[in-house]
Every structure is written in C-alpha cells, then in structure tokens.
C-alpha cells in the first residue's frame, strides 16, 4: 500500500504515459490498417501483394524486434533524431496496423454482396463503393475485434517501458530497482493496466450498442 502512496506521482506519470502511448499508436494503427486493408481488397495486384506482405511481415515479427529496429535501424537509415516516444509510437503503430487490417478486411467480408452490387449499378467507382457504402457498414462488424486489438495494444505498450519511455512498466522497473516488494508493485501496476483495458472494452461496448442494427 505504501508503495502506491509514496510514489503516487510516479504512478500517475506512468499511467498517463501508457494512456497517451496507447491512444497515439492506436490512431496510427487505425489509419495504416484501414489504408492497407483498402490495398488488400483493391483491384490492383501490386497493391494487393504489398498489403499481403505487410500483414505477413508484421504479424510474424516479435514486437521486441520491431522496437529494436525502431531504436537502432530507423534512426541510422531513415529518420535521424527521433525521440524515444516517437520510436515507440512507430513500432507499436506499425505492428498493430497489421491486426487492424485483418479485422477491417474480415469486416468488409460481412457486408452483404447486394450492397456493393447496388453501389456499382449506381455507377460508383471502387473507392466510392469502399468509402461510402462498404466501410461504414463494415464498422459494426469490426468493433468487437478492434476492441480486442486495442486491449492487446495497451498490454503491448509495456514493452516501450523497457526502452526507457515513461509508462507503467517503467514504473514497475524503477520501483523494484529501489527495492520495494515486487508483489505490491505488480499489483498496483496491474491495476493501472486493468483500468485502461476495462475503459477500452466499456467504450467499445457502448459503441457497439450505438451502432448495432438488426439484420
């Protein structure tokens, strides 16, 4: 108990760090994921191939390795001088985008064939069909898996703490280095993550109720 009270500032900072990192990389993953999903269902073969390669690559690479790439390869070869936070954002966002892409793609599959056919018969182009007809309807089917993906993202963001980004794992490490009993630290840090993940699943359940329709 004392561990929490004495280091409330550390815990608060770590908690906010976790929330911010999750939000930012979730946003990046959403944008990338939807774009790549669009690639994967597009009529242009090279883009489809690129999408497949993207998903295969990122789904089968350990996140820790992506973090190392963001830390030691990206700055050397592409963009120098990124802050640790940005690098963590990139690693988490790119990794999660592959999962978002798969969720969106399977959501697209749930839209009834007739909808797209009707859109085409009205003369809509591929991108119009996708943007105006299919994706809005796919949203409903995508919400449940997205919630799981964001919960996983929250948990994955712990790895950023191991790379000296301020968040909850960093707090666990810091306090255990100071010699506090690990069982208590574990409990409080775990509680912090539980708060975030419960909020996410609550939020998405709300969304699901709002957007749900009877078919």
Partner 1 sequence: MTASVLYDAPGPKARVRNRIYSVLGSLALIALLAFAVYRLDAKGQLDPKVWDIFNNAGVRTNIRDGVLTTLKVFAVAGALSLVLGLLLAVARLSEHRPVRWLATGFIELFRAVPLLITIYALWVLFLTYKTDLGVIGDYTAFWGLVIGLTVYNGSVQAEVFRAGINAVPKGQVEAAYALGMRKYQVMTMLLLPQAIRSMLPTMISQLVVTLKDTSLGYVITYTELLFATRTMANNIIVNGDNPFTAVTIVVGAIYIAMCLALSSLATWIERRGRRAKTGVAVAAAAEPAEAPGVLDASKGPLGPTTDRETQA
Footprint (CB under 8 A) of partner 1, residues 120-149: 120, 126, 129-130, 134, 141, 144-145, 147-149
CB of 8 to partner 1, least distance (A): 19
The reply to whether 84 sits near partner 1 by the rule CB under 8 A is no
The reply to whether 213 sits near partner 1 by the rule CB under 8 A is no
Contacts 24+ apart (CB under 8 A), 4-9: 4/184, 4/188, 7/171, 7/175
Among the listed ranges 8-16, 28-36, 83-91, 112-120, the one in contact with partner 1 (CB under 8 A) is 112-120
CB of 212 to partner 1, least distance (A): 12
CB of 114 to partner 1, least distance (A): 10
Site for partner 1 in 24-63 (CB under 8 A): 40-48, 50, 52, 55-57, 59-63
Query: Within 13 A of 83's CA, how many CA atoms are on the CB side?
Result: 5
Contact pattern from residue 152 through residue 191 relative to partner 1, giving x for each residue in contact according to CB under 8 A and a dash for the rest: x-xxxxxx-xx-----xx--xx--x-----xx-xx--xx-
CA distance 149 to 23: 12
The reply to whether 193 sits near partner 1 by the rule CB under 8 A is yes
Helices marked H in the chain — which ranges?
2-6, 8-40, 45-59, 63-68, 74-77, 84-110, 113-121, 126-128, 135-156, 158-162, 168-177, 182-211
Total residues in contact with partner 1, by rule CB under 8 A: 76
CB of 159 to partner 1, least distance (A): 6
Question: Token pair of 130, please?
Answer: 């996708």
With H, G, I as helix, E, B as strand and everything else as coil, classify residue 66. Answer: helix
């Amino acid at each position: 108990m004392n561990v929490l009270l004495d280091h409330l500032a550390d815990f608060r900072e770590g908690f906010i760090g976790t929330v911010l990192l999750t939000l930012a990389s979730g946003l990046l993953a959403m944008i990338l994921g939807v774009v790549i999903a669009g690639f994967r269902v597009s009529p242009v073969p090279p883009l489809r191939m690129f999408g497949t390669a993207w998903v295969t690559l990122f789904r089968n690479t350990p996140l820790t390795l992506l973090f190392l790439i963001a830390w030691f390869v990206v700055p050397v070869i592409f963009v120098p001088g990124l802050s640790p936070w940005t690098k963590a954002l990139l690693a988490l966002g790119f990794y999660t985008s592959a999962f978002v892409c798969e969720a969106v793609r399977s959501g697209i599959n749930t839209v009834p064939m007739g909808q797209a056919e009707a859109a085409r018969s009205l003369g809509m182009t591929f991108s119009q069909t996708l943007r105006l007809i299919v994706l809005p309807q796919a949203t409903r089917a995508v919400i449940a898996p997205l919630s799981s993906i964001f919960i996983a993202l929250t948990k994955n963001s712990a790895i950023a703490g191991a790379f000296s980004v301020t968040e909850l794992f960093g707090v666990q490490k810091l306090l255990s280095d100071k010699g506090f009993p690990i069982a208590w630290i574990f409990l409080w840090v775990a509680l912090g993550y539980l708060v975030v993940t419960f909020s996410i699943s609550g939020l998405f359940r709300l969304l699901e109720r709002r957007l749900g329709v009877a078919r």
